[in-house]
Structure formats: structure tokens, C-alpha cells
Amino acid sequence: MQKTLGYAAHNNHSALVPFSFDRRELGAKDIQIEILFCGVCHSDIHQARNEWASSKYPMVPGHEIIGKVTAIGNAVIGFTVGDRVGVGCLVDSCRICSDCVDDLEQFCNTVTFAYNSADKISGGSTYGGYSAQIVVDHHFVLHVSDKLDPAAAAPLLCAGITTYSPLKHWQVGSGDKVGIVGLGGLGHMGVKFARAMGAQVVLFTTSANKIADAKRLGAHEVVISSDMQAMQQHLSSFDFILNTVAASHNLDSFTALLKRDGTLCLVGVPDHPHPSPAVGNLIYKRRQIAGSLIGGIKETQEMLDFCAEHNIVSDIEIIPIQQINQAYERMLRSDVKYRFVIDLASLNSA
Ligand code: NAP
Ligand code: ZN
Ligand code: ZN
């Protein structure tokens, strides 16, 4: 066992505090990674505060990890000490079920998440990236190009793949009109990807002060979602809408904007259910409401390579780990442009 320093939540209401815990020893197929940066996802807040009613404490959150390989097991291929690598939400799965065989490990019934999951190897709980180092099976470790700024690349490991994957699955491309709902960590990546894939991009926001930013990030048009007149102008015109909002809200004003056979894909996971959709909105034009969960390892590597090719990273604000609790409060006020990233070098400061 290797003593490792991190920051943990100990219950659903107290601040995260320094926490020392054990990482497993390096196994034959494992890679040990010194964590340099870790993004702060809204899922970290949902889980630290037990909003999904599945939290186990102590919990070390963090699943947007960028680091440097410090050791490799003797059965590891394709990595060497010193490589820049990433780890996202997934750290293990069964590898034999149909989801795993199809490179969709996120849907495996026995998937292990980076934190708050039973760790089948150590027997304890998994602890995430708000920490100094991590040991991960090499199948779940991603190569990250040196072309990308390492701090700004960290959010690609969750916010990036969670928006890239549905845009690819629903084959968004040139000639498509695509909506992104919510300009937060996921939403701003959705805008960048949809634009890079050639779509006509409309950003829906509740925050009037984000209009200029949304355009700078790649939106062709920005609509304040509470402005019913502006919403009406887009009725029945979208091929695809990706909804990243972290809170319960009425979906009907978005389903009404879809063309025949259009899809509203939900990736936000609010703690309370959305009010039921108006059935008329769906049956009238055979519209669909769908969901999507992060993405598999193969597609995450594809997304990282796409980012290196198109020079896409997240817009970030770097914080020392001592500011994580203030960062959570600011995220809840939508006061972040557009992802906090923890610099883990700060762990050793007083
Ligand atoms: P975030 O950075 O906090 O952004 C969420 C955005 O939603 C806000 O910036 C805001 O955008 C909008 N919003 C917040 N409260 C709202 C409200 N009451 N009504 C309408 N809009 C509201 O969060 P994130 O990290 O992007 O995560 C978003 C959600 O996705 C979370 O629920 C998270 O758990 C989930 N998630 C899901 C997956 C998956 O695999 N499906 C993966 C990662 C995260 P505007 O100011 O522009 O309105
Ligand atoms: Zn996440
Ligand atoms: Zn499986």
C-alpha cells in the first residue's frame, strides 16, 4: 500500500479537507501516475453532497485527471515512464460483456468509476483525482498529446468525452442545426465540438452575461431560454439538441424546437427529476428524448486525438486545492469560465 495525500468529503454537508489514504501497489497491468491537474466536474458536487443518494465516505472526488507516468507494471504495453496521460471516469470493467466488447465500457454492469465505486482489486473504495497520485489498469489510461496545454486538457476527460460522444453518435455534421443547452463545463465543450464538426450552433443559456463568451467559443447564435419570443423563432428547426443543465427544469420548450425525428439528448443529471415531457410535443413530429453517459475508452482516445488535431481544450480557471470548497460554491452560482482545474502541486503547500 502507498500512502497518498488528497482532499476528501467526509459527509454530505461539510467542507472537503486534507485526507491521507492508501493506494494499491502497482500490479503487472497497472500504471502509476503522478497527478498534475484535475478538473472539477459538477458530478463531483452532486456526489460529495450525496445528491444522487449513492455516496460513500470518505470520498476523494475527481475524474478529469492529467498526469505523468511514474511507474509501469511488467505486463503494460504502449506506455513509458514520463508519458503524459489522462484518466477519466472509468478505471475498470469486466472486458467480456457485450458493452465492453463493443468499446462501450461505460455501460458495463460491473464498471468501476474513478471514485465512489467499489474497488474490486483493493477491496476498498476508489478514490479520485483530488490527490497526489493514482494507480490504474493501463486499459483505462489515455495518451494525451504534448501539443495540448495539460491543465486545459484535464476537463476533456469528462466534460470533453461526455459532449463529444453524443454529437458523434447522432452524427452531427455540416448542414445540421445543433442546440447546446447550458454554458457550463460540459456546455462550453459541446459548443466547441459541434462547431468543429461543422454544425450551425445555437447556445441556450439562462445567463445574459454569457452571450459574448458563447460566440467567442463558437456559437453562431445565442438564445436566452427564458425569452419565449426568441425561443418561438426556432420552433421545429433543430436536428439535435444537447442539454447539459445540472438542475431540474421543463424540457418542453426544447422538444418543441426539434424538427421531425429530431433528438433532445440529456447529459445533465439533476438531483430531482425533470417535470414529465408533454407527450404531444413528442408524438407530433416523432421527436425523441435520449440520454448519454460519458463515452468508452476507445472513443475517449479518439476525442483526445481530435482535440490535438483541432487545437481544442477547455477554458479554465486554475485553483490550488485549498480553494476547492469556494470553487463548488461558485459553480453553484454559475460563476466559472468554464471549468475549475486543480493544480495538484498545491497539495504540498501549507
Ligand atoms: P456546470 O459547469 O455547473 O454547468 C451547468 C450549467 O447549467 C450552468 O453553467 C448553467 O448554464 C446551467 N444551469 C445551472 N442551473 C440551472 C438551472 N436551474 N436552470 C437552467 N440552467 C441551469 O456543470 P457541468 O460540470 O457542465 O455538468 C452539468 C451536468 O452534467 C451535471 O448534472 C453533471 O452531473 C452532469 N454530467 C453528466 C455526465 C454524463 O455522462 N451524462 C458527465 C458529466 C457530467 P447557463 O448559465 O448557461 O444557463
Ligand atoms: Zn464529470
Ligand atoms: Zn463489461
Percentage of the residues of the chain whose pLDDT score is greater than 90:
95
Q: What is the per-residue pLDDT for 333?
A: 93
Mean pLDDT, to the nearest integer, of 97-107? Answer: 98
Q: Are 215 and 240 spatial neighbours (Cβ–Cβ below 8 Å)? A: no
Cα 187 to middle of ligand 1, angstroms: 7
Would you list the domain boundaries of the chain?
2-158+295-349, 160-291
Q: Write the class of the CATH domain 2-158+295-349.
A: alpha beta
Residue 2's pLDDT band, with cuts at 50, 70 and 90, is confident
Q: Which fold has domain 160-291?
A: Rossmann fold (3.40.50)
316 lines ligand 1 (CB under 6 A): no
* 111-130 pLDDT tens trace: 999 999 999 888 889 999 99
The residue nearest atom 10 of ligand 1, judged by CA position, is 182
Q: What pLDDT is attached to residue 141?
A: 98
Alpha-carbon torsion (199, 204, 207, 212), positive or negative = positive
> 202-218 pLDDT, tens per residue?
999 999 999 999 999 99
User: Which protein residues have a CB closer than 5 Å to ligand 2 (ion)?
Assistant: 41, 43, 158
Residue 185 CB less than 6 A away from ligand 1: yes
> How far apart are alpha carbons 251 and 257 in whole angstroms?
10
Mean pLDDT of 267-286: 93
Residues 37-74 pLDDT 10s: 999 999 999 999 999 999 999 999 999 999 999 999 99
Contact at 8 Å (CB) between 62 and 128?
A: yes
Residues in a beta bridge with 39: 341
Give pLDDT, residue 349: 83
Mean pLDDT score of the chain: 97
pLDDT at 276: 79
Query: How many CB atoms lie under 10 A from the CB of residue 76?
Result: 20
Q: What is the band of 149 on the pLDDT scale with cuts at 50, 70, 90?
A: very high
- 24 pLDDT above the threshold of 80: yes
Q: State yes or no: pLDDT of 131 exceeds 60.
A: yes
Does residue 267 line the site of ligand 1, with CB under 6 A? yes
The answer to whether the CB of 245 is under 6 A from ligand 1 is yes
Mean pLDDT within 270-280: 90
Return the bridge partners of 35, or none: 67
Amino acid 30: pLDDT: 97
Average pLDDT over residues 334-349: 95
Q: What is the pTM of this model?
A: 0.97
- As a whole number of angstroms, the distance between CA 86 and CA 305 comes to 12
Residue 209: DSSP 8-state? G
Q: What pLDDT shows up at residue 122?
A: 82
- Residue 350 has a pLDDT of 57
38, 41, 241: which to mutate for ligand 1, most atoms within 8 A of CB?
Answer: 41
